[in-house]
Amino acid sequence: MKKKIVIIGSTGSIGLNTLKLIDQEKNKYSIELLSTNKNVELIVKQAKKFNVKHIIINDYKKFMFAKEKFKSDGIKFYNSFTIISKIFKNKKIHYSMISVVGLDGLLPTIKLIKHSQTIGIANKESIICGWNLINKELTKYKTIFIPIDSEHFSIFSLIKNENPLNIDKIFITASGGPFLNSTKKEIKKATIDQALKHPNWLMGKKITIDSATMMNKVFEVIETKKIFDIDYKNIKIIIHPKSYIHAIVEFKSAIFKILLHEADMKIPIINSLLLAEKDVDVKKFKSKPLNLKNLNNLNLRFINDSHFPLVKILKTLPSRDSLFETVLISINDFFVNKFLEKRITYINLLKMISYYVNHRSFSKFKKIRPQKIEQIYQVKNFVNLKLNKLVYKKFSHD
């Protein structure tokens, strides 16, 4: 019997890589549902290739367009993730991949846990803002969770057979992005094109900018804390320009474990699929041989927070789950969008995020624990409305 698969965000980079891997063994998997925000032409092409009968399109205009244009193709189109419970009312999904970008990934994550044996999450925002809600559902429905980000999959792999009480420190690596060796003068004049030139990874614009500012590592530290239940003080960021090592775990027993692989997201994806299977065959994926040149030139060093000032935000975060994580995500989203729209400069992007993260308007959320998804979306909307007012006021006086 074919194993049922769901991919939320199938037109993004993680979704595309997942489909490439599944395409190698079409006779083994049955894709039951795909989703996209706006990329109608591509997702319909994917649906026809893999014989998918259900598609969710977030954008309403694109949903209406697809529903009319492809009405004779035997595909059912939906405009909301709330339909998931109806589609899979009497079905159990073998593996669900959540690879959509942004807080749009939280609702389908919660909805799919109930129907999934295993769920792979490559959506930072869902974990950062709603981990306590996700974890509650994982426990309730006994669903296996696998983190897909290379750093967190590496940590997961290193500690899955270890006693959690023996973990002392976790080190996650960062390439340093395009501005690792730039001077302060060069950073002040940095352009969008320069910020989008990541040295090792091919990603979407938003995540690439987060990599340049190092905000993605702030997010990854938060994810590490939540997923693996470890204090912020025991999570360290190490600069590693080659992106060959993805995580190091230090145990109280004086042992260090290191996990390395090529800078290729297909590696954690295929391994998450293999972990979800009982009939594991590790010969299915071919990778490059051990790279001794990279190993002999690791050039590891702890991150310099004067060069990457947004890392200092970690010192201001509450130790417990709170709605402030949603505030942080929303502030970053707001100003990254402004930068990509050429409304602010790169240096102002850094300054604005640092300034508004500490703004008194948002401090109250550090003491409020999210109880339901609606709270998280309400806070996101509040932050966007508040920032529009505050930024307009600030700019009008500068």
For the chain, list the domains and their CATH numbers: 3-148 (3.40.50.720), 150-263+282-311 (no CATH), 318-398 (1.10.1740)
Give the Cα separation of 48 and 312 in Å (integer): 47
Q: What is the reported pLDDT for 286?
A: 72
Q: What is the reported pLDDT for 396?
A: 45
HEC string of 290-326 equals: CCHHHHCCCCCEECCCCCCHHHHHHHHCCCCCCCHHH
Q: What is the reported pLDDT for 397?
A: 44
15, 22, 259, 386 from 285: Cα distances, Å: 17, 11, 17, 48
Phi-psi region of 303 (alpha: psi -120 to 50; beta: other; left: phi over 0): beta
CB 182 within 8 A of CB 190: yes
Looking only at the bridges linking them, the beta strands covering 235-239 and 301-302 are antiparallel
CB 46 within 8 A of CB 52: yes
C-alpha 30: how far from chain center: 25
Token pair for 323:
């709605």
pTM: 0.93
pLDDT in tens, the chain (398 residues): 899 999 999 999 999 999 999 998 888 999 999 999 999 999 999 999 999 999 999 999 999 999 999 988 899 999 999 999 999 987 889 999 999 988 999 999 999 999 999 999 999 999 999 999 999 999 999 999 999 999 999 999 999 989 999 999 999 999 999 999 999 999 999 999 999 998 887 778 888 999 999 999 999 999 999 999 999 999 999 999 999 999 999 999 999 999 999 989 999 999 999 888 765 454 556 778 899 999 998 989 999 999 999 999 999 999 999 999 999 999 999 999 999 999 999 999 999 999 999 999 999 999 999 999 999 999 999 999 999 999 876 554 44
Token pair for 262:
């090529």
211, 335, 347, 354 from 350: Cα distances, Å: 12, 9, 5, 6
CB 84 within 8 A of CB 115: yes
